[in-house]
Amino acid sequence: MPKAIPSVSGELPVHGELLVTLRWATGHLREVYGSRLKHLILFGSQARGDAIPESDVDVLVVLAGPVTSIEEAERTSRVAIRAAAYRDTALSIIHMSEEEYADERRPLVQSVREEGIDLLEAFPPGSPPSKIPTPIERPAQDPTRDEPGGEA
Average confidence score pLDDT of the chain = 81
Q: Is the pLDDT of residue 135 over 80?
A: no
- The larger pLDDT score, comparing residue 66 to residue 4, is at 66
Write the CATH number of the domain with boundaries 16-121.
Answer: 3.30.460.10
Annotate the chain with three-state secondary structure. Answer: CCECCCCCCCCCCCCHHHHHHHHHHHHHHHHHHHHHEEEEEEECHHHHCCCCCCCCEEEEEEECCCCCHHHHHHHHHHHHHHHHHHHCCCEEEEEEEHHHHHCCCCHHHHHHHHHCEEHHHHCCCCCCCCCCCCCCCCCCCCCCCCCCCCCC
Which pLDDT tens digit goes with each residue over 62-75? 999 999 999 999 99
Q: What is the pLDDT of residue 130?
A: 56
Q: What is the pLDDT of residue 87?
A: 82
